[in-house]
Structure 1
């Protein structure tokens, strides 16, 4: 039994090393990617007359832009035009500023706070928890409180549907302040 356990641990360790060795450079260290890609790691400039306008310094091309300071998401098309923008309710953990990619999606699951959610779009991790966008089936925000750690970034169901349609696997997600 000990031999099987040791073999299993060695296999998992090797697979983890192999996966880490093949992470694209711009996803391996989000803060470094922010510095080298022109994405602002500090508070991106805002248009005070248009608070929902896409901040400059949020990258180029098709992408999801998420401001952790403004609790707002922008879905940006190939020409740099905003296709949709909306506010969100973040969980207790924020992703670091930088460029990420959508790594997994789930149509319906139970969130880390016990809430049934749909259209989950994951793109980062923090403190061992997945960070991603979702919409609560009952329309609720992530549970508040120090005893509930969640990486949920909750949108309304309508906005969650739009995000689900736009943010397919591999889609770039840019996190700004």
Structure 2
């Protein structure tokens, strides 16, 4: 994989999806203060040290080609950090990967998640086409109606119910999208 791909940034309307940077730490800590988001995610960022560890995990994933996490910023609002999207590609060449995302509480209801997930989906299928990436999965807990709507808006069809397993206390939904 080329260094150009690892450093990739791309736009989705007024949104810019770019690699995370050190100067994102304060906004990352602020985003994780939202109790709803903390309830939905399996990890926590409570202070700057946690945020810096989180950034190192994202950078290492990009370096190894197993995780491509993008800060989502709104260029029409002074590059305000509004979310995160990630391609989790644990077995490059397997033909399958998982997408994930979160939207900061102050940015919800503006259509950011569907725009960012759709942009990541297109980038993923293009960037990893030669590796044989043909299937993307989006998983959320069954009570997360907003994530279900985002999945459907982005063309991820409901595939099955996944049984609860730690750290998730509820059953989940698996949504799938195939490359065109």
Shorter-chain TM range is: under 0.3
Choose 1 or 2 for highest CA Rg.
Answer: 1
Normalization by structure 2: what TM-score?
A: 0.25
Which structure has more RCO (C-alpha within 8 Å, separation ≥ 6)?
Answer: 1
Higher helix share: 2
Normalization by structure 1: what TM-score?
A: 0.25
